[in-house]
Amino acid sequence: MGFSIERVYFWVLRQLSSDVQPTDSGSTDDIRRRLLFHNVLGRGSFGTVLLAEDPSTCKHFAAKIISKRALLAAGDELVMVERRVFQLASGSPFLVQGQFAFQTKLFLILGLEYVSGGDLYNYLLMKGQLDIPTARFYAAELVCGIQFLHTKGIIHRDLKPENILIAETGHIKITDFGLSIDNIHGEQTATGYFGTVGYMAPEVRRREEYNAGVDWFSFGVILQEMVTDECAYHQTIDDISSGIKNIVKQLLQKDPARRLGVNGDIRKHKFFRHIDWVQVEALKVTPPYTPEPSNPNHRPRPFHVDKLEAAEVRAPISAQDQAMFEGFSFDNLETRG
């Protein structure tokens, strides 16, 4: 039976108790014991994202609860890549920041900054087609975030509006690195059928080797979607505004070697000719939209991580399998005030 947060939650309501001990050292044990979990924010392939709170500071986090059993069954090591990406994210304001990570005997818990302004997908549902200046603002910030990842050897592999969050300040943050791959530099390539159909580059769909150009293709689809309110797969490039047609055409090149971002400096494209990149990088360009501040929606009876363990009353995970998760934990909270 797969991990079900509803099952966990109802076990909590029945006052289950557990004496399960963490597998972490004391460096993350403190945050582990303080953290309270509230409502579900989302679900993924290997776990669930919950709203978490540190009552001692009143700070909120998006806590990704990942089942070790599910990862081991799939032979999947992507979560360790995701953890490394989130640690690197502190170098860019356009990426969701990793705050902490720790583990128990059955779960990995990855704590991320809580971004409460919604995502680009829902913003597009609300606004429909965006004007060119608004699309240009989001596109410029996305370029900064994508290029930061690529300079670190990281390919996101699942860029789409749902994975672009809007902070309360109005600036964007790229999230969900669960399908990312790292250590791809220079002429190196990656393989694997990853991503979301509709935003997936042709070379990925053909199951060929690929490079960071796959992210630029996805970016092109997103850019076209922002100004047309339709996915690029549902229309032709000729249908879009002349003010954006050229850059979209270059981003959606089927030949990755000719694709803008891989071939040429995207920041120098005429679509961005009025962009001051220094101001963009410094978050000094006024966003076109500022979300209403929102208070997290708490459930009335929060629970500690030990309650998650209590619901998983199966045989323990072997020491050999536990070794796969060595080095997962980190704590950036002390440096963030």
CATH number at residue 34: 3.30.200.20
- Domain, as residue range, for 84: 5-114+296-331
**pLDDT tens-digit series, residues 94-121:** 999 999 998 888 888 999 999 989 999 9
Same domain, 101 and 15: yes
- Annotated binding residue at 64? yes
Quick one: 144 and 82 in the same domain? no
**Residues 149 and 271 grouped into a single domain:** yes
What is the per-residue pLDDT across 1-31, written as a single tens digit (0 to 9) for each? 344 444 444 333 332 223 334 445 445 667 7
210 within domain boundaries: yes
Q: In terms of domains, do 169 and 49 share one? A: no
The C-alpha atoms of residue 179 and residue 172 are separated, in whole angstroms, by 20
Q: Is there a single domain that holds both residue 125 and residue 232?
A: yes
Q: What pLDDT does residue 166 have?
A: 97
99 lies in the same domain as 156: no
Q: Are residues 71 and 159 in the same domain?
A: no
pLDDT at 305: 60
Same domain for 108 and 126, yes or no, is no
CB contact at 8 A, 247 and 260: yes
Structural contact between residues 293 and 168, judged by C-beta atoms closer than 8 angstroms: yes
Question: How far is the C-alpha of 313 from the C-alpha of 316, rounded, in Å?
Answer: 9
Sheet holding 330-331, edge to edge: 36-43, 47-54, 59-67, 107-113, 98-103, 330-331
The CA-atom distances, in angstroms, between 83 and each of 17, 79, 159, 325 are 29, 6, 18, 11
Residue 336 lies inside a defined structural domain of this protein? no
Could you tell me which residues come within 8 angstroms of residue 44 by beta carbon, excluding any fewer than 6 positions away? 64, 176, 178
**Set 24, 158, 182, 215: catalytic member:** 158
User: Could you tell me the CA-to-CA distances from 56 to 60, 118, 124, 323 in Å, in that order?
Assistant: 11, 26, 37, 32
Same domain, residue pair 124 and 44: no
158 is catalytic: yes
CA distance 283 to 122: 22
The contacts of residue 28 (CB under 8 Å, 6+ apart) are 22, 100, 101, 102, 329, 330, 331
Q: Give the pLDDT confidence of 36-77 residue by residue, as tens digits.
A: 888 888 876 667 888 998 888 889 999 998 888 888 887 767
Residue 262 inside a domain? The answer is yes
Whether 46 contacts 70, CB under 8 Å: yes
Predicted TM-score (pTM) of the model is 0.84
Whether 139 has a pLDDT exceeding 60, the answer reads yes
Q: How confident is the model at residue 18, as a pLDDT?
A: 34
Residues 273 and 208 in one domain: yes
* Orientation of helix 242-251 relative to helix 132-151, angle to 10°: 20
**DSSP letters for 193-246:** --S-TTT--HHHHTT--B-THHHHHHHHHHHHHHHHSS-GGGS-GGGS-HHHHH
